Amino acid sequence: MDDAHYVEHGFDGDVHVLRIANPPVNTLRTGVRAGLLNGIQRCVKEGARAIVLIGQGRLFSGGAEMTEFNKPRQPPSLPEVFEAIETSKIPIVAAIHGSALGGGLELALVCHARVATPTAMVGLPEVKRGFVPGAGGTQRLPRLIGPEAALKIIVSGEPVRADEAVKLGFIDAIIEGDLERGAIAWAREAAKSGRKFTLARDRSDKIEGADLAAFDGAAAALLKRSRGQESPKGCAAAVRAALTHSFTDGLLFERQQFQRLVEGEQSFALRHIFFGEREVARIPGMPEDTKPMPVKNAVVIGGGTMGGGIAMNFANAHIPVTIVEMTEDALARGLAKCDANWQRTVQGGKLSQAEYEKRRACLKGSTDWNVVREADIVIEAVFEDMGVKKEVFAKLDALARPGVVLASNTSTLDIDAIASATKRPELVCGMHFFSPANVMRLLEIVRGKASSHETIATAMDVGRRINKVNVVVGNCDGFVGNRMTGKRGPQLEKLLLEGALPADIDRVMETYGMAMGPCATGDLAGLDIGAAVRKARGTVAPIADALVAAGRFGQKTSKGWYLYDEKRARHADPEVERIIVDMAEKMQVRRRKIEDQEILERMLLPMVNEGARILEENIAARAIDIDVIFANGFGWPAWRGGPMFFADRMGLKNVRDKLAHYAETTNDPNLKPAALIEKLAAEGGSFSGNGTRKAA
């Protein structure tokens, strides 16, 4: 496709329009860059008095074409396009709708002026891909809005609405109604009046005399939230360069930071997850013409922590939803918890009162199960007990209209067994939300043996509409995420018996980047809950069970693996060490010093091994599905790429050998390398290169 197809040229009298036409997100690929450069030259040649630059479709531009990063860059470069804009004697006005992100916003910042629709979003999210803005964003934005405001936008990577951008000073005007018509009129008036524009690169008023100590303090506060990640530091350093360097030298510094980070392991991992979140939307084996069933309203059975959170997702997306509870008291508690969650967000300034009222109007409650008759989808979120689940599904089957999907929020139970309680097993699936359900992005959609393509497509569509990252998984105990994390438990106990302490294990895992180590996570969830699960399954964890027997249930009792103060800060407890040492003596285990690398490997490799078995069994279709699950639901840092990415970077021959070593030295047959690892190691292969399996 030639560059004329990527950038359309139109005009309205003496105001010319260049429309970026690279669907779906108008990335700045080679053809777009060439089209912009040629378009500007043509506008000049044809006597344009002003130029409006706009995006076709749903947004202005999503930024750089990341698939070009690992290829030789073809001319023209983005700086060449920017030079043509900044040296143009004709004012060029960026007209933004939808969003202008990354290189898309950098393109707009180069223009002489920027106008936008009221709800357009603008931002520089490069930090979330592991690098810094590489086309002048860290140098131009501080010159327009000041260093600390720019720092916050660039280090967080979070977009802001156009109306907020007007207040900050990098959007010049809001256009109501038709954006292109309004932008043309605005540009014509500006040209006619002889309005003088000062390019961002020529501005110095916002950065002159900047207080570097204050800037460094603001940067340090922001960087506390990104422990271990390199790109936020690079972003802060690049913005600081705008205060200490000339514009030209600042651009050079920014580019050096970009090049260093984009070639690094963390950026590779973040882009692995970024593209993976798009890949998991493609379901192997599903016919392309499969259509989801329409869902205009939902019913959630159960108003507890999970049920209330699930219902909030629908209300947040302005989809009417009704919570069904057994008693008025339980219903009132559930609705009050939803209200409290929303009100905290309002008080924190992240949700307007008007938007809260709109969401609240979408949420209703009832103790009358007959409301199920009107539902387009029903999601069960009751106690995790098979007998209870079957009873609920039999009741739902009798009440719900024919053709309505019935979904279970179970985290471990057999979807096929649940479906057997109905006369519509083809319309039953799992929709496993993660706690807190109104916050966590992951949604495991569990396909049962009988689940139809339309059922899965409907669950996927609903998940997309309520802003979840959906991953389709097969039916087994624990599905993907819980099944894999469950396999590290035996090694946790063995490490403690052999010489580690809870603080050692948590420190290693948190240094790796996990939000919380496994012991701290256990205390948060409740050690008594884990003990109940083990009892039901007939398994034991000697040390954890001893803690529970001593009344140490975790944060709820202010003592578990740790002691907790009134602020819930954790502290090592000598009593826990005594319990561990006594258990080691009782089991005749000789304690020793265990190095951090061994702790890391023994915590992660059991999950990798189980992930390989999950791929063998087709519970997950692709390795990237597993990595996306862990990055979005289990606190695995996206900049580490996920467990299967970890294994690929370690090398599967090394993974195989380490697993075999630990299987022998710890007497854990579960660590015997999975057949898929043996096969790929022998072939010199990787999980990422293993291809896509067909869905069952």
- Looking at residue 3, what is its pLDDT? 62
- Looking at residue 317, what is its pLDDT? 98
pLDDT tens column, 649-669: 999 999 999 999 999 999 999
- Looking at residue 696, what is its pLDDT? 34
Q: Is the pTM of this model over 0.85?
A: yes
Report how far residue 478's alpha carbon sits from residue 412's, in angstroms, rounded to the nearest whole number: 4
- Looking at residue 2, what is its pLDDT? 57
SS3 state at 91: coil
The per-residue pLDDT of the chain, averaged, comes to 95
- Looking at residue 395, what is its pLDDT? 98
- Looking at residue 157, what is its pLDDT? 96
Report how far residue 93's alpha carbon sits from residue 113's, in angstroms, rounded to the nearest whole number: 5
pLDDT > 80? residue 532: yes
User: Which of the following CATH numbers is that of domain 298-477: 3.90.1150.10, 3.40.30.10, 3.40.50.300, 3.40.50.720?
Assistant: 3.40.50.720
Does the bond joining 159 to the residue before it have cis omega, within 30 degrees of 0? Answer: no
Residue among 519, 497, 493 at smallest CA distance from 508: 519
CB 425 within 8 A of CB 419: yes
SS3 state at 444: strand
pLDDT > 70? residue 187: yes
Residue among 180, 178, 173, 194 at smallest CA distance from 15: 180
- Looking at residue 692, what is its pLDDT? 47
Report how far residue 414's alpha carbon sits from residue 425's, in angstroms, rounded to the nearest whole number: 13
pLDDT > 80? residue 687: yes
Q: What is the mean pLDDT of residues 371-394?
A: 96
- Looking at residue 694, what is its pLDDT? 43
pLDDT tens column, 474-499: 999 999 999 999 999 999 999 999 99
Residue among 19, 16, 25, 17 at smallest CA distance from 6: 19
Identify the band that residue 4 occupies on the pLDDT scale cut at 50, 70 and 90.
low
Q: Where are the alpha helices (DSSP H) in 502-639?
A: 502-512, 518-525, 527-537, 542-549, 574-586, 596-616, 623-633
Q: Which residues pair with 405 in a beta bridge?
A: 377
User: Which of the following CATH numbers is that of domain 3-262: 3.90.550.10, 3.40.50.300, 3.90.226.10, 3.40.50.1820?
Assistant: 3.90.226.10
Residue among 469, 62, 442 at smallest CA distance from 280: 469
- Looking at residue 695, what is its pLDDT? 39
CB 601 within 8 A of CB 506: no
Q: Is 519 exposed, middle or buried (0-12, 13-18, 19+ CB in 10 A)?
A: buried
- Looking at residue 73, what is its pLDDT? 77
CA dihedral 338, 342, 348, 352 (to 10 degrees): -170
CB 175 within 8 A of CB 116: yes
DSSP structure class, residue 366? E
Asked if the domains 3-262 and 597-683 are classified in one and the same CATH topology, the answer is: no
Does the bond joining 436 to the residue before it have cis omega, within 30 degrees of 0? Answer: yes
Does the bond joining 643 to the residue before it have cis omega, within 30 degrees of 0? Answer: no
Q: What is the mean pLDDT of residues 181-188?
A: 97
Any idea which residue has 């040229």 for tokens? Answer: 9
CB 112 within 8 A of CB 75: no
Q: Where are the alpha helices (DSSP H) in 515-572?
A: 518-525, 527-537, 542-549
- Looking at residue 525, what is its pLDDT? 85
pLDDT > 60? residue 456: yes
Report how far residue 144's alpha carbon sits from residue 151's, in angstroms, rounded to the nearest whole number: 12
Report how far residue 447's alpha carbon sits from residue 416's, in angstroms, rounded to the nearest whole number: 9
Q: Which residues pair with 400 in a beta bridge?
A: none
The C-alpha angle 268, 274, 275, rounded to 5 degrees, equals: 90
What's the order of all strands across the beta sheet hosting 298-301?
363-366, 321-324, 298-301, 377-380, 405-408, 428-433, 442-446, 469-473
pLDDT tens column, 121-140: 999 999 999 999 999 999 99
**Percent of the chain surpassing pLDDT 70:** 99
Report how far residue 187's alpha carbon sits from residue 94's, in angstroms, rounded to the nearest whole number: 10
User: Which of the following CATH numbers is that of domain 500-586: 2.40.50.100, 3.40.430.10, 1.10.1040.50, 3.40.50.300?
Assistant: 1.10.1040.50
Going from N- to C-terminal start, the domains of the chain cover 3-262, 298-477, 500-586, 597-683
Identify the band that residue 15 occupies on the pLDDT scale cut at 50, 70 and 90.
very high
Phi, psi at 632, each rounded to 5°: -110, -10
Identify the band that residue 268 occupies on the pLDDT scale cut at 50, 70 and 90.
very high
Identify the band that residue 691 occupies on the pLDDT scale cut at 50, 70 and 90.
low
Close Cβ partners of 420 (under 8 Å, ≥ 6 residues apart): 390
- Looking at residue 693, what is its pLDDT? 46
pLDDT > 70? residue 548: yes
pLDDT tens column, 58-76: 999 999 888 887 777 789 9
For 95-117, give one letter per residue: b (16+ CB within 10 A) or e: bbbbbbbbbbbbbbbbbbbbbbb
Residue among 259, 255, 224, 220 at smallest CA distance from 238: 255
- What amino acid positions are annotated as catalytic residues? 106, 126
pLDDT tens column, 88-126: 999 999 999 999 999 999 999 999 999 999 999 999 999
CB-hemisphere CA count at 13 Å for 3? 18
CB-hemisphere CA count at 13 Å for 35? 26
Task: Say how many Å lie between the first and final Cα of the chain, rounded.
Answer: 38
| Helix axes of 78-86 and 103-110: crossing angle, nearest 10 degrees | 20
Query: Under CATH, what is the fold of the domain 597-683?
Result: N-(1-d-carboxylethyl)-l-norvaline Dehydrogenase; domain 2 (1.10.1040)
Close Cβ partners of 174 (under 8 Å, ≥ 6 residues apart): 115, 116, 117, 118, 162, 163, 166
Report how far residue 76's alpha carbon sits from residue 610's, in angstroms, rounded to the nearest whole number: 47
